[in-house]
Amino acid sequence: MNHIEPTAADTLLHTAFYQFVQLDEADAVVAHLRELTRDLLGSILVANEGINGVLAGQAAAIETFEQALRHDPFFQGKFADIAFKRSACHTAPFARMKVHRKSEIVYLGVSGVDAIGKTGIDVSPAEWRELIAQDDVVVIDNRNSFEFKLGKFRNAVDPGVDNFRDFPKYIEEHVPQWQAEGKRVAMYCTGGIRCEKTSAWMLDMGVPVYQLEGGVLNYFEKMPDAEKDWEGECFVFDNRIALDTKLQETDTTLEDVYGGVPEWEWRLQRAKRLDEDGE
């Protein structure tokens, strides 16, 4: 197992990225990505619909990987415009490197969703601040309830789901009400990928969605006063657990996230086990 030790000369960085794009040779992409990530830790999911990854490593290694993903001739320019969301780390977020071949890069639980050819209406962080202040906008948190509990945009609605695949049911049940009230739907998630998949599906229902470009992490990066709109912290699915609006690690523990809710006990135990096993 590789271990990352940050030094004063080379900061430990976390980078998150995704892109919906047709990959006809997904297995070959998996093999190539394994070569490109030999000096990094984290995970990348690869499917015919694109890639979804989170990595950590020394700044130089992160930069080398990002440049390769954008410019390596192997990818034929398919990731030339991919966006990376970086944040500094004190705690090493991951203990090993995995590149997995999957049927989807984010599982919505609805078959036939085309997130490559269609998507919602991207809203920049500055525009988002203005949008969610409007009375005719319903702001939906497209994350799990334990994430919502830790932090959220003011006036956001918690769909009350414990798994992303349960989200479509909530949407189907509430769309008629929103339409009857003349509401516009604004949606956000941590990094943007869940909203991309959901908004593509909702377009098939005839419901356009305004989605926060780059998700909460991008909002924190682009808005120095993000705390004006965001209450609490932002949960991240790695060993850091949570970040504040300055993208700094907090002292939040797994017990703070999952404790006190019997339905989340299995998540707490699983998180502890993965942490102990170095997953």
As given in the structure block, the two tokens for residue 65 are 């990987």
Distance from C-alpha of 61 to C-alpha of 204, rounded to nearest angstrom? 41
Rounded to 10 degrees, the C-alpha dihedral 140/236/81/9 comes to 150
Catalytic-labelled residue, pool 89, 189, 195, 234: 189
Q: For residue 229, what are the contacts with CB-CB under 8 A and spacing of at least 6?
A: 129, 132, 153, 154, 219, 223
Burial class (CB in 10 A: 0-12, 13-18, 19+), 153: buried
Centre a 10 Å sphere on the Cβ of residue 211 and count the other Cβ atoms it contains. Answer: 27
End-to-end alpha-carbon separation of the chain, Å?
A: 11
Residue ranges of E strands in the chain: 12-20, 41-47, 50-58, 85-88, 97-101, 121-123, 137-141, 151-153, 184-188, 209-212, 230-232, 234-235, 242-243
Residue 195 known to be catalytic = no
Q: What burial class does residue 90 get, using C-beta atoms within 10 Å of its C-beta: 0-12 exposed, 13-18 middle, 19+ buried?
A: exposed
Task: Decide if 93 contacts 43 (C-beta within 8 A).
Answer: no
Residues carrying an active site annotation: 189
